[in-house]
Amino acid sequence: MRLGATAVRALTKAVGEEHVRFTPGELAPYRRDATPLFTGHPDAVVFPADTGEVAAVLGVATEHGIPVVPRGAGSNLCAATVPSHGGIVLVLTRLNRILELSRDELLARVQPGVAVARLAETAAHAGLLYPPDPGSRGVATVGGTIATCAGGLRGLKYGVTRNYVLGLEAVLPTGETIRTGGRLWKDVAGYDLTRLLTGSEGTLAVITEATVALLPMPSHSRTGVAYFGSLAEAGQAVSAILAAGVVPATLEFLDRKCVAAVEAHARLGLRTDAGALLLFGDDGPIEVVAGNMVRIRTLCTEAGAWETTLAEDVAAADALLAARRCSLPALSRLGALTILEDATVPRPRLADMVARIDEIADRHGLHIATFGHAGDGNLHPTCVLDPGEHGAADRAHKAFAEIFAAALELGGTITGEHGVGAAKLPFLADRVGDAQLALLRRVKQAFDPAGILNPGKLGS
Amino acid sequence: MSDIFDKDLLQRCISCGFCLPACPTYALTGDEASSPRGRITLMRALEPGELAADDPALVEQSSFCLGCRACEPVCPAGVRYGALLEQWRDHQWRGRRRPWPARLLMGIVARAWLLGLQGLARRHARTRPAPAGPSLLLGCVERGLYPGVSRAAVRLRPELAAPSRQGCCGALHAHNGDSAAGARLARTLGGRLPGTIVTTAGGCAAHLAEHLGRDRVREFGEYLAEQGHRPAGEVRVAGRRARVALQDSCHGRNALGVHRQPRQLIAAVADYVELPGAADCCGAAGTYALLRPHDSRRVLAPKLAAIEQADVDFVVAVNPGCLRQLRRGLRGSRVRAVHLAELLALAGGNGPYPPGRR
């Protein structure tokens, strides 16, 4: 769609001439986000300064029937911020202040454009922990991670973003500004709209402020690594650890292909003959952490671990965690097109799921390596391709469709933490069923009767 | 399909966005277009002709980028952004489209005899050529603006030969849209200075390493560390050990991975203070301070605030452009900007005092 002259004037008036973009070159960088193979064509990009300007932009959009796609840093992996239907990309990076950090109340009030890492560092300065820890924490914004309910490496023990959102300020597409929840840990007045907006992927309202819960910073942490002959044995170790009542902060795995790629890239001295690598770690009071480390190592050994090692100091722990952190970089060097996917199965089915992924990859002649969060059954099968190879992307799409079907068959889901966006929408009905899908659409209708907020995504 | 860019380099980016928080111009605007990922999207639109080189956004973004390459060390996919930027500017800034101050400077520094003339007025280090090296790069700008730097360097390491007729390394050309001339000048200089080339300019070091091979080039602090140089003496101010901070050279750090060595050398002669953002670009960025003075000052502003806040006596630069930028920014301040070589010479008791003057 193209914007009319009246709409252009109204948008310019809403945020000021300096903060609107209309030319093809200025719009081009907003065609896509971090999701491979998805692009759209925005007609305008606007950078509001505050809640009032967000409301003004939505007012213009409603009046002229223009789609609006809210965007933070555009680091999501489900094409949630791709302007599939054109329209306005509403960039919230100018709302970038931490408004309040309260040690007494263990909370922070932040604007949506603040990077998650900046919030976490500011909290750490005050001796507090903001636990949500997605891999993109350096770039991803608080608003974006709330809109996608981002997960991360600490999900098992600490939960995910939704567990830390106490309240939101949001502008509805109809122009009203609402405040849900607030500074209260207990508040059951009304439907839990805070939770509904968390993970709504910019389809219901535009988040303009968030109140988030913080925790006291744990005093100690330790990290270790265990090698197994097979992922099945690593999976048994994970089950045994949880059954023993230990809920560690870190429980990450790399499959054989991943270990090989990481070792070839970073030369960390990993054992490439192993079938799986399990990273474990915990934080808390020193004696609790020490006790948990002993129990985890014992349980790993009982499950058949070839060897377990504990990092002696912070630097050594960082070196171990580097193996997990550089999985994506290492894999992405194997081909120019890297598709990082996301599926979750019940914990005991982790090894079955990786076996299914391997079988599907082999059948389609694809290189798919898998790493992920063993503690919460969340896998990241990552496909590496040469984009020049004819039909490679199509084969990858077919393979992933089979992978999501397999996850559902094992009692899992099509996405654990990346979101639905435009990328997973075709699979959503398989996960939630027709009745729930119809309800989602009615919810969307209630918030956004004109259907202007992020069309082509959730609720469409 | 045109071939403005090396196809493999352009394909490398996986668009994850991890470069955004490292980018100084993205920090100023919050606009994807002024981030490395956004600029690569623009390059990808330019390559097949979807956007023309005279599109205002391409003109603006190819020039707004500092070329600091802070996006490279944080890139999971190993994108060689610096190389892409050179290719972009080769196309974008060809011929008359190149800003005139850059054209003028490039014309001057490409002539070794013209550079040599500076020596008539400025007393930089000079010795006979050494057939086997190691040699000190005098630099096209540094020998004229800060001749004391090469003198200090040679005092600290007398084995360094500093022949006057050596020419320019060509980094200026490579960064301003003429990478072919940049490569040619680098090779010519490599012929004139045999053996290891030691340079007090991080930008030159990175450019020479690209064309002559990493083995032939040493950044000055890196060279000292490798030679096991033990800095003599101590820098004192008002009867106490001086407090000294460092401003990294972007290319020294991001392209060559040199950052530990200058810190250790400073710590040997003074109390080292790590500035928040020491690794971030100061806004000098070669010709950038000349071509975009307003943006250059915007990038510098938070750094000046951090320097004043840190209550240091000196801030050390390891690149002449940064030195100039910091000296201009710190006019009227009690803090002095000096080159690493000058600081170490001062500690040894045979440097100029007060340092930071020409």
Measured in degrees and rounded to the nearest 5, phi and psi for residue A341 equal -110, 180
Express each pLDDT in A46-94 by its tens digit.
Answer: 999 999 999 999 999 999 999 999 999 999 999 999 999 999 999 999 9
**Is 80 exceeded by the pLDDT of residue A281?**
yes
* A334 confidence band (pLDDT: 50, 70, 90): confident
Q: How many domains does chain A have?
A: 3
- Reading the block at residue A317, the tokens are 């722990």
For chain B, residues with pLDDT lower than 70 are 1-2, 350-358
Min Cα–Cα distance to chain B from A290, Å: 33
Q: Using the structure block, give the residue that is written with the tokens 């070794």.
A: B112
Does B41 contact A at CB distance below 8 Å? yes
CB–CB contact B15 A30 (8 Å): no
- Calpha distance B229→B267 (Å, rounded): 13
Residue A40 included in any domain: no
Residues of A in contact with B51 (CB under 8 A): 24-25, 28
Express each pLDDT in A167-202 by its tens digit.
Answer: 999 999 999 999 999 999 999 999 999 999 999 999
- Calpha distance A41→A43 (Å, rounded): 7
Residues of B in contact with A36 (CB under 8 A): 14-15
Does B11 contact A at CB distance below 8 Å? yes
Residue B231 included in any domain: no
- Calpha distance A113→A143 (Å, rounded): 6
The pLDDT of residue A1 is 60
Domain range holding B124? 100-226
The pLDDT mean for chain A works out to 94
Express each pLDDT in A199-216 by its tens digit.
Answer: 999 999 999 999 999 999
CB–CB contact A32 B31 (8 Å): no
Strand partners, B136: B198
CATH code for position A231: 3.30.70.3450
Whether the Cβ atoms of residue A151 and residue A140 lie closer than 8 Å to each other? no
Same domain, A319 and A355: no
- Calpha distance B221→B206 (Å, rounded): 14
Q: Which stretch of DSSP H or E encloses residue A441?
A: helix A425-447
CATH code for position B331: 3.40.50.1860
Domain range holding A231? 220-324
The pLDDT of residue B349 is 81
**Is 50 exceeded by the pLDDT of residue A349?**
yes
Whether the Cβ atoms of residue A14 and residue A48 lie closer than 8 Å to each other? yes
Q: DSSP secondary structure string, A181-227? A: E-S-S---SSS-HHHHHTT-TTSS-EEEEEEEE-EEPPSEEEEEEEE
The pLDDT of residue B358 is 40
A128: amino acid identity, one letter: L
Same domain, B168 and B266: no
Among B75, B97, B119, residue at a domain's last position: B97
- Calpha distance A378→A151 (Å, rounded): 10
Whether the Cβ atoms of residue B51 and residue A28 lie closer than 8 Å to each other? yes
- Reading the block at residue B72, the tokens are 């490279």
Same domain, B156 and B126: yes
Whether the Cβ atoms of residue B163 and residue B127 lie closer than 8 Å to each other? yes
Whether the Cβ atoms of residue B285 and residue B85 lie closer than 8 Å to each other? no
CA distance between the termini of chain A: 18
Torsion of CA A249, A254, A258, A261, to 10 degrees: 60
Q: Is A284 helix (H, G, I), strand (E, B) or coil?
A: strand
Strand partners, B178: none
Express each pLDDT in B130-146 by its tens digit.
Answer: 888 799 999 888 888 99
Same domain, A102 and A183: yes
